[in-house]
Amino acid sequence: MNTRAPAIEARQLIKTYGGHVTALDGIDLAVERGSVFGLLGPNGAGKSTTVKILTTLARPDSGTATVAGHDVLRHPDRVRRAIGVVAQGSGADPVATGRENLRLQGRLYGLKGAALEQRVDELLDRFTLTEAARRPVKGYSGGMRRRLDVALGLVHRPEVLFLDEPTTGLDPEARSAMWDEIGRLAAEEGLTILLTTHYLEEADRLAERVAVVDRGRIVVEGTPDALKGELRGDAVHVELREPLGDAGRTLLTGALRGVPGVHEVLADGHRVSVRADDGAAAVPALLAALERAGVKVATATVARPSLDDVYLRYAGRRYSETEALVGAR
Ligand SMILES: Nc1ncnc2c1ncn2[C@@H]1O[C@H](COP(=O)(O)OP(=O)(O)O)[C@@H](O)[C@H]1O
Ligand SMILES: [Mg+2]
């Protein structure tokens, strides 16, 4: 196998459901071996569909992909042996104990006897589940279940690990523990990890490279720092007391573009976001311009660019709003 080839490569993946829902609209990906890659996007963006295709659980309408050097359509069996998958929902049997779950998974991959027991013990220890190993999984906390899910995905020592929203639904403490664990896996085992997330902070913290997915397309890709660095200057976010209509938004956007030092303006219902060379210096002029336009301001904050700003720039709307959009459907 060509060891310099990417661990995951996808070209122009397209997938529609029922002939009218376009889940993937031409996804291109390349993930370097031994790296952590984050697929970041709001609910419904197409993250799980991408993972399903790369893990041979779904077929694309068109496009190609290789994982660990194997073609997902021509050699799905080889792909399956090379990967570990932690799906969005838990894969563990709730009635069985943690140890039983791991044993069963190991047997499915041909492990047995002492080698199986050793691997199971190793994983229980590594994911701090040794004490809970004899209890049925249904009594586990969310964090314990998720750790078991990851352990199950690792039983056969895969080259590439897929984690679909590994921390969704976890409390902050369990999330933070999971982040440490994922970071360690990548650093110590040289695993290639593709994780999907809708948490900006998670992608920022864990992924060496991030692809932002929106409506089945990758809108931008790069290291979190490079993506943030492309946004010149500071972000100034102004919360409005009353929502803006379409006409007000257009007028206001025009007025704020004229403020010295301001080079990008995005306005939606309740918020106006501006990029400025020096955020703090631009605030007084911005507030004056808003006042002249008769717009009442609730708060104004200045911040270094975040991945949220990256999303806003490339998707043309706020990250948090896309969630509301999906929720409203
Ligand atoms: N089995 C399915 N049948 C019909 N539509 C689906 C199915 N799976 C996903 N979709 C749709 O495809 C789009 C992408 O979904 P998904 O890949 O699950 O997004 P994400 O994981 O980013 O939340 C959404 O509009 C979703 O409703
Ligand atoms: Mg999903």
pLDDT in tens, 15-33: 999 988 999 999 999 999 9
Q: Which residues surround ligand 2, an ion (CB under 5 A)?
A: 47-48
pLDDT band at 327 (very low <50, low <70, confident <90, very high): very low
**For 184-195, what is the mean pLDDT?**
90
Tell me what pLDDT residue 166 has.
94
- Residue bearing the CA closest to ligand 1, atom 14: 46
Looking at this protein, which amino acid is placed at residue 6? P
The pLDDT of residue 329 is above 50: no
| 270 Cα: distance to centroid of ligand 1 (angstroms) | 29
Q: Ligand 1, closest atom to CA 15?
A: 12
Tell me what pLDDT residue 321 has.
67
| 44 Cα: distance to centroid of ligand 1 (angstroms) | 5
Distance set, CA 146 to CA 31, 197, 219, 251 (Å): 24, 14, 30, 49
The helix or strand, by DSSP H or E, that contains position 144, with its residue range, turns out to be: helix 142-154
Where do the DSSP E strands lie in the chain? Answer: 8-17, 21-31, 36-40, 62-67, 70-71, 83-86, 160-164, 192-197, 209-214, 217-222, 234-240, 262-267, 271-276, 297-303
Tell me what pLDDT residue 328 has.
39
Tell me what pLDDT residue 17 has.
94
What gap in Å lies between CA 100 and CA 46, rounded to an integer? Answer: 33
Q: What percent of the chain has pLDDT over 70?
A: 96
- Residue 264 contacts residue 236 (beta carbons within 8 Å): no
The pLDDT of residue 322 is above 70: no
Per the prediction, the chain carries an average pLDDT of: 91
What gap in Å lies between CA 85 and CA 57, rounded to an integer? Answer: 10
Sheet strands side by side (includes 297-303): 262-267, 271-276, 234-240, 297-303
Tell me what pLDDT residue 174 has.
93
Other Cβ atoms within 10 Å of 297 Cβ, number: 14
Residue list, ligand 1 pocket, CB within 6 Å = 17-18, 21, 23, 41, 43-49
Tell me what pLDDT residue 232 has.
79
| 314 Cα: distance to centroid of ligand 1 (angstroms) | 21
- Residue bearing the CA closest to ligand 1, atom 11: 23
Q: What percent of the chain has pLDDT over 90?
A: 67
The pLDDT of residue 76 is above 90: yes
Cα of 14 vs its chain's centroid, Å: 19
- Residue 99 contacts residue 133 (beta carbons within 8 Å): yes
Counting ligands in written order, the one closest to the CA of 217 is 1
- Residue 76 contacts residue 240 (beta carbons within 8 Å): no
DSSP 268: -
Tell me what pLDDT residue 323 has.
57
Sign, CA torsion 315/321/323/326: negative
- Residue 146 contacts residue 167 (beta carbons within 8 Å): yes
**For 300-329, what is the mean pLDDT?**
73
**For 116-132, what is the mean pLDDT?**
96
Other Cβ atoms within 10 Å of 303 Cβ, number: 12
Counting ligands in written order, the one closest to the CA of 326 is 1
Q: Ligand 1, closest atom to CA 50?
A: 17
**36-69 b/e (C-beta count within 10 Å ≥ 16 → b):** bbbbbbbebbbbbbbbbbbbbebebeebebbbbb
Site to probe by mutation for ligand 1, drawn from 15, 22, 39, 48 as the one with most ligand atoms within 8 Å of Cβ, is: 48
- Residue bearing the CA closest to ligand 1, atom 24: 44
pLDDT digits (tens, 9 = 90+) for 85-104: 999 888 899 999 999 999 99
Tell me what pLDDT residue 1 has.
52
Q: At what angle do helices 98-108 and 142-154 cross, to 10 degrees?
A: 20
**For 54-61, what is the mean pLDDT?**
97
pLDDT digits (tens, 9 = 90+) for 234-257: 889 999 999 888 888 888 888 888
Half-sphere exposure of 260 (CA within 13 A, CB side): 3
**For 195-221, what is the mean pLDDT?**
93
Counting ligands in written order, the one closest to the CA of 164 is 2
